[in-house]
Structure 1
């Protein structure tokens, strides 16, 4: 949490020259719960004293640590929330009884039937890797304090319902009420779409910058001559009262990309903002990334790529447009490479190509591997009729048939990486293990009965044993999850899936070996001893294949297929993480651990409106 707050503040455009934002109290925007005092909308806003910090407002006893922040786009609402998170986190570190702030975006709330408390449990698991039962316990014990950004980023048709659900949570079941909460929203959306007060104790409005603050900003950047031009254009001066646009304008001016005549030729406010964002893109792509003369002399032009060629401007633009459109479709503001789904693909042809590639990967890679393993097991058990070469050929043919069938008639599934697992005997873990064992027992019993009817009792016993072992392995994968998991590197989930795929397969082999001796002991009473190695080897190979598939092999195959289609269509290079890191150098994206976001939602929306070539 501390890293997230520090890195987002450090990468903020406001960080270049920190601006103290003015606030005014607008408590008529909220409806204080369980209070006989009704605040009338006609009451005038009350400006707060200059220099008042957000934590001072939040800590006021009458506000009960429940506050709404309103403001215009780019006014600094999120930055103010990050400042509060930093202060609350510092307080929680000093006093262990104080709640820990958690930063979450309401943009991911998409189900109108879902309660805010249940949504919080899912988000805490998705973002911070906290098990849902543990997250629920911490919330009920007032150990977490949610800071919720982006009420205006909820799908417009759901914003009113979201406000109702927020109120249900704020004044609902006592055990689920928050010990404190902050909610951010744009003023216009709150008035025109949300259209109802929230059950909070107070509200503030982030004021525009004053003329004096704008002038001081240009003075610090030694752009006094620019200030003279700004003073003569009231529309430009009005837009620069938003800290985001002022910071962008300062960078654009230092790169010499702004033309006052081009600006004035735009007739509407929307066109003027679009022009400013276009010039910001040009300025960020033109700025020098390496200023150290020694590094320049060595040919280093980027921290990300070093001496290697950097991506071309069209390639960067294409990747950003694709990312922005994908995030907009998902009503999201954060990009994780491992969380990209086949739904990101646009055309039917792309989706068919993904499914076919996925099937071929499963078949042509998984098939020969399983064939080799099976051949090796049979050789070790004394069965020489197939061997390694025979196993490879059988696996290749079988894998090809299986892969083509998946590619042609299979359905697209959600990619779920198997990231981390450790032994954890929590209630949730025990329930998952028992459920997996029950499913494995039922599946094994069915296979055993079928085998028993067709080939005899011992075959049925083998199927039952394999089902039990598979259930145990599946329980290990989905039941023994780490309590808290944090993504520190890009695509960490898929990388962990590869590692866990081999770990779990090894565990499956160790667990299954004792049962092979049981089968070898009983089977001679029923079948010819010459076929015993084939029966045991086939069963063991099948079990290892299931373990590989469930423990990360399926997710890895899906991800490779998706990334190949994205690369082929020039949406994302194979080293997507490097390009995204390069965009953070260019002040187009922010990165926290393995998560990326645009510098501002306005910039994301700007790229999302562009054509994808």
Structure 2
């Protein structure tokens, strides 16, 4: 729900089986007004509007009075769950249901992978934040002007976070906690608990890592839409008058943003971000470290209508009961490596002050478990050495530094990666993310650390080499070896230069994101018929521009290398013919794209595989068109052969230089391993790091399991 009135209105509308458009027609209230009321953009409905809507919904007297009461900020009575609405009557409700299923599946698997319930979840507790970090309770409870409001209870534990959120009438809650206090685990549990009892009229809680948001350049709604499309490719389809289904879900209040990591925004963006959040009435759950949030509040204002809680430290009893149960039994009486420390905790707790201070957060407890409970032969007693660890931060640094070597030495029989090499590669990846200013480790951005000029040169060399070999071998076989050499040199220079320039110019030189579509011949052909003119014109424009570059460089190459008098003119003619054929190909490729399944929530490997399939199918479908179009410029005798050769070479150039998967091949699978910055099996290495717990999956990208681990790998060499 975006507000109490908005949620009630949507629930009544769905119960009546009406779309927003149908209710607008019945009531005479504009559909934009109805949409704004349901999303909370219009927070104070006029009474005449409420009565018109009540008439359109055919409410009885009690329900009408209840809706009017909610409109002025009074609590309403509970309604029976809405009956399911057929998908054709409310497509956004159906899309929200499918998204909820995908989100639930993803985070259930992630919770299992993180071993949160092994042997049991560490407790996460909280207390209300100080008054200066939270709005007035009258605003939180949406009280009418002139009325006061009593606080609601915010008490609870990890398994009660969804219930605590329900007590907040505004639907806006801030969760503060120091590094490693359990904020991310809390948000994961919140999402799963909300989904477990979600009604069909309720929005879908979706977890977003805030680190990549730049509020100075991108609005919150646009950024949320982009993240949804990235992680759920099916939401890229246009729908409901919006450019994408993701945008429609956000705009119509079907998404409950769970915003994790306000503190991880880039320096200087906390205040603009808080201002942007206050410019909306979206319901949300926001997490942050206390210092960064307090600084943003001091410079702007509190988060409007938001209640707040702050996570508290673990007690010695918490980790003292958890760590022994996570370790192997050493004797028949259930003794473990932690027994000497537990005995000292009972007899002389003051002597464990350093260790107790460190193990006050779930992050440090889990690191200690990994290093000592899960690794035979390791003695946690070394943590009590005050000479080696004179202050608590020294113990924390030790746990962070020892974590990666430990997880790569735990399974010697399954060792694929040398621990020292693995740690060096992970440090380079952490530095790569630091340079990009993000926490998201995306496979299509691994080459972004190279300068644009270096990428242009490298891709031009690879594409030129492929085209030079194809042309050179075929021409030498059909004519003379010297002709093959000349043709190969000209093709390598012209095509390599053209695609090197194209890579540097397309998208301002930034590495493109993978396609969020799939190839579907039947639905794609319908799109071609419907949009053939626009797609063809756009494709021809790009094709002719590229063909002109090919013609100029190819003709110049023939003049200089071959000494042929009409080489320049014939090169331009051939280039324009190639451009026309390429334009038709781009138009067809665009037309064959169809939206992915809405329920498809991808992992990094799945997105890579899907993008590879899309690119290769595009190439296979359109290669005959490209070959025929190019072949016509060579005449009938040589047209077929050279059409296939040149078409294959240009297709390879498009794939390697202009698609996310091709750039992944040329940069991440060739250049970075050649320079020693990554292993040859890059994706296998990343997946292995995920299996070992060094990385975590956040939709289509990886992240380090915690920001502190990434920062430690970045700055400590």
- TM over 0.5, yes or no? yes
Q: Establish whether residue 226 from structure 1 lines up as the match of residue 341 from structure 2.
A: yes
Q: Establish whether residue 609 from structure 1 lines up as the match of residue 715 from structure 2.
A: yes
Cα offset, 1:111, TM superposition: 5.0
Q: Establish whether residue 301 from structure 1 lines up as the match of residue 413 from structure 2.
A: yes
One of 398, 423, 437 as aligned partner of 1:275 = 398
Structure 2 CA distance for aligned equivalents of residues 267 and 193 of structure 1: 34
Partner residue in 2 for 1:198? 303
| Cα pair distance change 1:501/1:275, threshold 3 Å | closer
Residue deviations 1:372-395, cap 9 Å, x none?
Answer: 7x87xxxxxxxx995798996565
Instruction: Pick which of 405-414 and 19-28 moved more.
Output: 405-414
| Cα pair distance change 1:141/1:250, threshold 3 Å | same
| Cα pair distance change 1:91/1:265, threshold 3 Å | same
Structure with greater contact order relative to length (CA < 8 Å, sep ≥ 6): 1
Contact 2:261–2:287 (CA under 8 A) maintained in structure 1:
yes
Structure 2 CA distance for aligned equivalents of residues 388 and 505 of structure 1: 30
Structure 2 CA distance for aligned equivalents of residues 38 and 258 of structure 1: 61
Structure 2 CA distance for aligned equivalents of residues 445 and 591 of structure 1: 42
Cα offset, 1:554, TM superposition: 3.7
Contact 2:219–2:276 (CA under 8 A) maintained in structure 1:
yes
Partner residue in 2 for 1:107? 211
| Cα pair distance change 1:440/1:200, threshold 3 Å | same
Q: Describe the SS at the equivalent of 1:341.
A: helix
Q: Establish whether residue 242 from structure 1 lines up as the match of residue 365 from structure 2.
A: no
What's the TM-score, normalizing by structure 2?
A: 0.66
Structure 2 CA distance for aligned equivalents of residues 46 and 551 of structure 1: 58
Q: Establish whether residue 571 from structure 1 lines up as the match of residue 692 from structure 2.
A: no
Cα offset, 1:481, TM superposition: 4.5
| Cα pair distance change 1:408/1:188, threshold 3 Å | same
What is the correspondence of 1:258-407 to structure 2 with a 5 Å cutoff? 259-260=382-383, 262-263=385-386, 265-287=388-410, 289=411, 301-302=413-414, 309-343=415-449, 345=450, 354-369=455-470, 386=478, 393=485, 396-402=488-494, 405=497
Q: Establish whether residue 5 from structure 1 lines up as the match of residue 107 from structure 2.
A: yes
Q: Describe the SS at the equivalent of 1:156.
A: coil
| Cα pair distance change 1:409/1:544, threshold 3 Å | closer
Contact 2:439–2:704 (CA under 8 A) maintained in structure 1:
yes
Partner residue in 1 for 2:372? 253
Cα offset, 1:574, TM superposition: 0.8
Contact 2:263–2:293 (CA under 8 A) maintained in structure 1:
yes
Contact 1:104–1:148 (CA under 8 A) maintained in structure 2:
yes
Cα offset, 1:360, TM superposition: 1.9
Partner residue in 1 for 2:563? none
Cα offset, 1:185, TM superposition: 0.8
Q: Describe the SS at the equivalent of 2:465.
A: helix
Structure 1 CA distance for aligned equivalents of residues 641 and 468 of structure 2: 16
One of 261, 268, 281 as aligned partner of 1:150 = 261
What's the TM-score, normalizing by structure 1?
A: 0.76
Residue deviations 1:493-530, cap 9 Å, x none?
Answer: 5544544444223332455688799x79xxxxxxxxx9
Cα offset, 1:607, TM superposition: 0.8
Instruction: Pick which of 221-230 and 145-154 moved more.
Output: 221-230
Cα offset, 1:599, TM superposition: 2.0
Cα offset, 1:82, TM superposition: 0.3
| Cα pair distance change 1:501/1:285, threshold 3 Å | closer
Contact 2:444–2:663 (CA under 8 A) maintained in structure 1:
no
Partner residue in 2 for 1:189? 292
Instruction: Pick which of 132-141 and 253-262 moved more.
Output: 253-262
Residue deviations 1:119-175, cap 9 Å, x none?
Answer: 11111112222216110111223322221111111002111111111111x23xxxx
Q: Establish whether residue 414 from structure 1 lines up as the match of residue 510 from structure 2.
A: yes
Structure 2 CA distance for aligned equivalents of residues 432 and 483 of structure 1: 22
Partner residue in 2 for 1:210? 315
What is the correspondence of 1:444-593 to structure 2 with a 5 Å cutoff? 466=581, 469-473=584-588, 475-476=590-591, 480-482=594-596, 484=598, 486=600, 488=602, 490-511=604-625, 531=635, 533=637, 546-550=650-654, 554-555=658-659, 556-563=661-668, 564-591=670-697
Q: Mind listing any 5+ residue stretches in structure 2 that lack a counterpart?
A: 1-102, 237-242, 327-335, 553-568
Residue deviations 1:275-302, cap 9 Å, x none?
Answer: 2322334443443x3xxxxxxxxxx822
Structure 2 CA distance for aligned equivalents of residues 144 and 427 of structure 1: 31
Cα offset, 1:102, TM superposition: 1.5
Partner residue in 2 for 1:63? 169
Structure 2 CA distance for aligned equivalents of residues 516 and 409 of structure 1: 21
Contact 2:134–2:306 (CA under 8 A) maintained in structure 1:
yes
Cα offset, 1:362, TM superposition: 0.3
Structure 1 CA distance for aligned equivalents of residues 527 and 144 of structure 2: 43
Contact 1:367–1:399 (CA under 8 A) maintained in structure 2:
yes
